[in-house]
Amino acid sequence: MRKKKNKQLIVNVYNGLWLLFKDNPNKKFAESKLQKLYKKKTKKDPLPVLSSLERLLNENKIVKISKDRYCLKLGETLSEGIVVKTSKSSVFVSDSTGEEIKIKNKSALFALAEDKVSLNQINISKGKKKFVIEKVKYRAKDSFVGEIDYSSKTAFFVSSEKNIYFDILIPRKDFNPTFLNKILVVKVTNWDSDGKCPLGRVIKVLGPANDFKSHIKSINNKYNIGSSFSSNLLNEVSSLKGFSEKKGLNRLDYTKVPTFTIDPVDAKDFDDAISVKVQENKLFEVGVHIADVSHYVKEGSKIDIEAAQRGNSVYLVDKVMPMIPEELSNDICSLKEGVPRNCFSVIFKFNSTLKISSFSITKTKIISNKRFTYSEAQSILDNKKGLLFDELSIIKNLTLKLRKKRQSSGAIMFNKKEMGFKLNDQKYPIDIFVKESYFTQKIIEELMLLTNITVANFLKSKNISNAVFRVHDIPDKDKLLSLKNLAFEYNYNIDVSNKIAVRKSLNKLLEKVEGTTEQGLFEPLVIRSMAKAEYSSKNIGHYGLSLNDYVHFTSPIRRYADLIIHRIIDSILNSKPFSKSFEGICKHISKKEREAAMAERESIKLMQIKYMEKHVGDTFNGVISGVVDHGFYVELFQNGCEGFVRASSLEGFYQIDNKRIALVNNENKFTLGQLVDVKVIRSDSNKRLLDLELISL
Bridge partners, 34 (sequence order): none
List, in order, residues 6 or more apart from 26 with CB less than 8 Å away: 71, 106, 107, 109, 132, 133, 134
Hey, how many other C-beta atoms are within 10 angstroms of the C-beta on 485? 12
For residue 697, how many C-alpha atoms fall within 13 Å in the half-sphere facing its CB?
A: 10
Are residues 315 and 557 in contact, defined by beta-carbon separation less than 8 angstroms? Answer: no
CA 356 from centroid of its chain's CA atoms? 36
Are residues 221 and 206 in contact, defined by beta-carbon separation less than 8 angstroms? Answer: yes
Of 343 and 687, the structure prediction assigns the larger pLDDT to 343
The pLDDT of 214-243, averaged and rounded, is: 87
Ramachandran angles phi, psi of 363, nearest 5° = -85, 140
Q: Which domains does the chain have, with CATH numbers?
A: 2-72 (1.10.10), 81-138 (2.40.50), 143-209 (2.40.50.700), 231-458 (no CATH), 477-529 (no CATH), 616-696 (2.40.50.140)
CA distances from 139 to 24, 85, 88, 94 (A): 22, 14, 19, 15
Calpha distance 391→589 (Å, rounded): 36
Residue type, 249: L
Checking phi first, is residue 66 left (phi over 0); if not, alpha (psi -120 to 50) or beta? beta
Calpha distance 423→616 (Å, rounded): 20
Residues 137-174: b if buried by 16+ CB within 10 A, e if exposed: eebeeeebbbbbeeeeeebbbebbeeebbbbbbbeeee
Calpha distance 252→16 (Å, rounded): 81
Are residues 492 and 505 in contact, defined by beta-carbon separation less than 8 angstroms? Answer: no
Give pTM, 2 decimals.
0.86
Calpha distance 544→188 (Å, rounded): 40
Are residues 69 and 30 in contact, defined by beta-carbon separation less than 8 angstroms? Answer: yes
Calpha distance 359→455 (Å, rounded): 10
List, in order, residues 6 or more apart from 512 with CB less than 8 Å away: 492
Torsion of CA 194, 197, 203, 207, to 10 degrees: -160
Which residue, among 249, 248, 256, has the nearest Cα to 287 in the 3D structure?
Answer: 256
Bridge partners, 536 (sequence order): 469
Ramachandran angles phi, psi of 235, nearest 5° = -65, -40
Does 248 score more than 50 pLDDT?
no
Calpha distance 506→512 (Å, rounded): 10
Bridge partners, 288 (sequence order): 274, 346
Are residues 204 and 185 in contact, defined by beta-carbon separation less than 8 angstroms? Answer: yes
Calpha distance 618→612 (Å, rounded): 9
Are residues 80 and 138 in contact, defined by beta-carbon separation less than 8 angstroms? Answer: no
The pLDDT confidence band at residue 489, using thresholds 50, 70 and 90, is confident
pLDDT of residue 311: 96
Which residue, among 330, 343, 239, has the nearest Cα to 554 in the 3D structure?
Answer: 343
Are residues 507 and 493 in contact, defined by beta-carbon separation less than 8 angstroms? Answer: no
Calpha distance 494→484 (Å, rounded): 5
Are residues 398 and 618 in contact, defined by beta-carbon separation less than 8 angstroms? Answer: no
Bridge partners, 431 (sequence order): 422
DSSP 8-state assignment for residue 77: B
CA 409 from centroid of its chain's CA atoms? 28
Does 83 score more than 60 pLDDT?
yes
Residue type, 327: E
pLDDT of residue 127: 55
The pLDDT confidence band at residue 5, using thresholds 50, 70 and 90, is low
Hey, how many other C-beta atoms are within 10 angstroms of the C-beta on 101? 19
Does 30 score more than 80 pLDDT?
yes
Calpha distance 512→490 (Å, rounded): 11
Using a 10 angstrom Cβ sphere, with 0-12 exposed, 13-18 middle and 19 or more buried, the burial of residue 459 is buried
Residue type, 410: G
Calpha distance 290→557 (Å, rounded): 9
List, in order, residues 6 or more apart from 116 with CB less than 8 Å away: 80, 81, 82, 136, 137, 138
Contacts 24+ apart (CB under 8 A), 158-163: 159/186, 160/218, 160/222, 160/688, 161/222, 163/85, 163/86, 163/112, 163/113
**What stretches of 248-339 adopt beta strand conformation (E)?**
252-253, 259-263, 272-278, 284-291, 314-315, 320-321
CA 529 from centroid of its chain's CA atoms? 16
Hey, how many other C-beta atoms are within 10 angstroms of the C-beta on 425? 5
Q: What is the pLDDT of residues 647-684, one digit of tens each?
A: 999 988 899 888 778 899 888 899 888 899 999 999 99
Are residues 329 and 222 in contact, defined by beta-carbon separation less than 8 angstroms? Answer: no
The pLDDT of 75-95, averaged and rounded, is: 85
Arithmetic mean of pLDDT over the chain: 90
Does 476 score more than 60 pLDDT?
yes
Are residues 340 and 366 in contact, defined by beta-carbon separation less than 8 angstroms? Answer: yes
Q: What is the pLDDT of residues 96-128, one digit of tens each?
A: 777 888 888 888 899 999 999 988 876 555 556
pLDDT of residue 657: 85
CA 238 from centroid of its chain's CA atoms? 33
Q: What is the pLDDT of residues 508-567, one digit of tens each?
A: 898 888 888 788 788 888 888 888 999 999 999 999 999 999 999 999 999 999 999 999
Q: What is the pLDDT of residues 126-181, one digit of tens each?
A: 556 677 888 899 999 999 999 999 999 999 999 998 889 999 999 999 999 999 99
pLDDT of residue 261: 98
Which residue, among 475, 579, 482, has the nearest Cα to 529 in the 3D structure?
Answer: 475
CA distances from 574 to 363, 567, 597 (A): 11, 11, 36
Residue type, 449: L
Residues in the chain: 697
Of 386 and 666, the structure prediction assigns the larger pLDDT to 386
Q: Which of 142-156, 453-467, 494-508 has the lowest mean pLDDT?
A: 494-508
The pLDDT of 302-313, averaged and rounded, is: 96
pLDDT of residue 1: 44
Calpha distance 680→626 (Å, rounded): 17
Using a 10 angstrom Cβ sphere, with 0-12 exposed, 13-18 middle and 19 or more buried, the burial of residue 195 is exposed
pLDDT of residue 584: 93
